Structure 1
Amino acid sequence: MIFIDNEGHTDPKLNLALEEYALRNFDASTDYLLFYINEPSIIIGRNQNTLEEINQEYIDENNIHVVRRISGGGAVYHDLGNLNFSFITNHDGKSISNFKKFTAPVIRVLNDMGISAELKGRNDIEVNDKKISGTAQFSTGKRMISHGTLLFDTDMGEVVKALQVKMSKIQSKGHKSVRSRVANISEFLKTPITMEAFKNQLLVGLYEASEPFETYKLTEAEWQAVHKLKAEKYDLWDWNFGRSPKFNIQRNKLFPIGEIDLRIFVEKGHISEFKVFGDFFGRKSIAELENLLIGVPYDKDEIIKSLENTAIEDFFGTLEKSDFLNLIYGND
C-alpha cells in the first residue's frame, strides 16, 4: 500500500478532487491510503438534497464550505479537528458494502491506543455507543474508495449549528441524513495528544499490519490535473447544489398586506415551477412575476439578480422586496 501525501492542503474541494483523481488515474494494481484534514465544511452525500442538510444562513455568515462528494451516505461536518481517511483499492466484487473490511485496521489501531472502538450498524465506528466515525464507499466498477471521518477534536457546537436546517416544508426524494450521538476521540484518550501526533500514530499503526508503505508525492503535472478537476467539478454550484434530486418547497407568511403562500418546484437545481397564492392586492398580474423565476437556479444570489429590476409593490402593494426575497429563499 502506498500513502499519498496531500501536502497539508485543507481546502475540501481540492482534497475531494485529489481523492477522485487518485481513484481514476493512479496505478490500478496498487492500493493507496490518503489522509486529509479540511477547513470548516459540510460534505454532502452524492444522492442528497443539499438544502435539506444545511443551515444556509449560518454557513454564509461563517464562510463554511459546502461540497458534494462522489460517494453516498449522509452529510457530515468537517473542521481542522477531524481526520479523514481514504482507502483506494480494486473492486473485487466482495468489498463494496463490506465496511468491516476497511474499518477493521482503523479500529485495531484505536484499540491499541486504549480506545474501545467497534463497528456498529452498517458503517459507523462507535465508542461507548457514541459515534466517532462514519464511512462511505464509491466504485467505478474496477476501482473503489472506502473513506471515513475520525472525529478527533471537532467543535461539536458547530456541527449542530451548521447542520441544523431551518428551511421550512421541503419535500424531496433525496436521502436524508440520520443524526447520531457523536463524540470526539480525544475524550477517550488517557493522555492528551495533538492532531498531528494522532495522525502519525494512526499511520504507524496501519503500517504495522501491512507490507512496508512508501509515500507518494504528486508531480507538478498531477497537481495541475487535480486543480483542473476541482475547477471543473467541485468548485461548481451545479455539482454542489444543482445535482440535488427533484424537490419542492412551500413557504408562507402573513404580512400587513395579506398572506403570501409560495409553492416552488426545483429540478436539477433550477426553478421549474413557481406559484404565488394569497389574499394580497396588486396592480399587475402575479403570473408575470411567476414567469420571471422559471429556469432560475434556486440560489439566493441568482434569485436576487433575476428580480433586480422588478418593482415588487406592483404585485403586492407596500411590501419590501427584501421580505419577499427572504420568503423565497430564507431560513425562517
Structure 2
Amino acid sequence: MKYIQNLSNDPQYNLAFEEYCFKNLPKDEDYVILWVNGPSIIVGKNQNTLEEVDTEYIKAHDIVVVRRITGGGAVYHDLGNLNFSIIKATGNYDEINFREYNIPILNALKRLNLLGELSGRNDMTIDGKKFSGIAQSIWRHRALNHGTLLFDTQLDVLSKALTVKQDKIESKGIKSVRSRVTNIKDYLADGITIEEFKGLLLKYIFEFAGEEPTEYVLSEDELSGIDALYEEKYSQWDWNYGRAPQFSYKNYKKYPFGGIEVRLDIKKGTIDTCKFYGDFFGSEGVEKLEAHLTGQPYHEEVLLESVSEEALKKYFGAITKEEFRDLLFELAEQPAEPAPAPSAG
C-alpha cells in the first residue's frame, strides 16, 4: 500500500483527483489518500442536488456543491473535516463491504483511544453519534472506499446547509437520512490539530497493515489527467446539478397583479414540460414562454439570460426578473396557497 499526497482544498479538484487515482493508477498497488475540502456539500451520484441543500444558504455562504461517483447521501465538508480514500483490489469479490474496508480506519482511531464503531449500513459512530459517513464504488475489480471524519467541523453550518425548508420537489432521487453528529476532537487530548490528527491516522493505518508508509508520487501526465477530469466533469454544472434523477418542481407565489403557479418536469437537468397557471393578465399568451423554456437547462443563470424583463411583463404583468427567478428556483418556505381556478373571462 502507498499513500498519495493531496494538499488541495478545492472540492471539485479533489473529487477529480480521487476518481482519477481510483481508475487510472497502476492496478498492482493499493492506495490511501487523506485530504481536506473547503466548505462544500458532496452529494451522492443518485441524488437530486436541489433536494439536498438549502440553495439560498449555500449561495450566501459560498459553499460549493459537487457530485461524487459513489452512492449514499449528501455530506458537508469544511476545513475541520478530514476525508479518507482507500483504493484496493477486490479480487473476485466485487461486492460492497463497508466492514472490511473500514476496519483499518477504526483500528487507527483506537490507537488514539477513540472507540468508534460501524453503525447501520455505512456510518461510524461514537456514543451513538455519527462522526463518519462512508460510501463505496466498485470498478473493474477495484474498490474505492471513502468517507468523512468530522474532526472539528462547524456543525451548525452543516445543519443549515443540508436543510431544505419546504419540499417543492418530487423525485426518485435517493434522499439523505439525517443523524445526530459529533466531532472527533471532542474525544481527543486537548490541543491536537487536524494536521497532527491526519499524520497520526496515516501512521496507524500503515501500522495496522504491517507496512512502512511509502509515498506514490504522481507523474506530470497523471496530474494532467486530473486537471482534464476537473475541467471536463467536476467543474461543470451538468455533472453537479444536471445529472439528477427525473423530478418535478412546483411553486406558487402571489403578486399584486395576480397569482402564478409554475409546474416543471425536469429530465437529465433539462426542462421537459413547463406550465404556468394563475389569475394574471398578460398581453401575450403564456404558451409562448412555456415553449421557450421547454428544452432549456434547469439552470438559474441560463434561464434568466434567456428572457428579458420586458417580455416577462407581457406574459404576466408587473413582474421583475428577481421575482421570476424566485418563482422558478426558490425552495424557501412559502405560505401554502392553492392556485386560483381558471377565470371564465
TM-score (norm 1): 0.96
Structure 1's consecutive aligned runs of 4 or more residues displaced over 4 angstroms after TM superposition are: none
The corresponding residue for 2:275 is 275
Structure 1 position 256, deviation (Å): 1.7
Structure 1 position 56, deviation (Å): 1.4
- SS of match in other structure, 2:265: strand
Instruction: Pick which of 196-205 and 250-259 moved more.
Output: 250-259
Answering whether residue 233 of structure 2 is matched by residue 230 of structure 1, we say no
The corresponding residue for 2:262 is 262
Structure 1 position 296, deviation (Å): 1.2
The corresponding residue for 2:251 is 251
C-alpha distance in structure 1 between counterparts of 2:256 and 2:167, whole Å: 21
Structure 1 position 112, deviation (Å): 2.0
Structure 1 position 167, deviation (Å): 5.7
| Aligned residue runs from structure 1 range 1-332, under 5 A | 1-6=1-6, 8-94=7-93, 96-166=95-165, 168-210=167-209, 211-308=211-308, 310-332=310-332
TM-score (norm 2): 0.93
- Whether the 8 Å CA contact 2:150–2:184 is kept in 1: the answer is yes
Structure 1 position 126, deviation (Å): 0.1
C-alpha distance in structure 1 between counterparts of 2:152 and 2:94, whole Å: 30
- Whether the 8 Å CA contact 2:92–2:141 is kept in 1: the answer is no
C-alpha distance in structure 2 between counterparts of 1:60 and 1:219, whole Å: 36
- SS of match in other structure, 1:254: strand
Structure 1 position 119, deviation (Å): 0.7
- Whether the 8 Å CA contact 1:152–1:185 is kept in 2: the answer is yes
- Whether the 8 Å CA contact 1:96–1:137 is kept in 2: the answer is no
- SS of match in other structure, 1:215: coil
- SS of match in other structure, 1:161: helix
Structure 1 position 299, deviation (Å): 1.1
Structure 1 position 24, deviation (Å): 1.2
- Whether the 8 Å CA contact 2:52–2:162 is kept in 1: the answer is yes
C-alpha distance in structure 1 between counterparts of 2:57 and 2:92, whole Å: 42
- Supply the AA of the counterpart residue of 1:55: D
Instruction: Pick which of 125-134 and 23-32 moved more.
Output: 23-32
Structure 1 position 168, deviation (Å): 4.1
- Whether the 8 Å CA contact 2:264–2:274 is kept in 1: the answer is yes
C-alpha distance in structure 1 between counterparts of 2:8 and 2:259, whole Å: 49
- SS of match in other structure, 2:216: strand
C-alpha distance in structure 2 between counterparts of 1:22 and 1:113, whole Å: 29
- Whether the 8 Å CA contact 1:167–1:330 is kept in 2: the answer is no
C-alpha distance in structure 1 between counterparts of 2:167 and 2:74, whole Å: 19
Instruction: Pick which of 53-62 and 265-274 moved more.
Output: 53-62
- Whether the 8 Å CA contact 2:309–2:319 is kept in 1: the answer is no
- SS of match in other structure, 2:181: coil
Identity value in percent: 45
- Whether the 8 Å CA contact 1:168–1:251 is kept in 2: the answer is no
Structure 1 position 213, deviation (Å): 2.8
C-alpha distance in structure 2 between counterparts of 1:330 and 1:40, whole Å: 22
Unmatched segments (≥5 aa) in structure 2: 333-345
Structure 1 position 309, deviation (Å): 6.1
- Supply the AA of the counterpart residue of 2:63: I
Structure 1 position 97, deviation (Å): 2.0
C-alpha distance in structure 2 between counterparts of 1:95 and 1:246, whole Å: 29
C-alpha distance in structure 2 between counterparts of 1:93 and 1:213, whole Å: 27
Superposition RMSD in Å: 1.4
- Whether the 8 Å CA contact 1:85–1:149 is kept in 2: the answer is yes
- SS of match in other structure, 2:289: helix
C-alpha distance in structure 1 between counterparts of 2:98 and 2:141, whole Å: 18
Structure 1 position 263, deviation (Å): 0.4
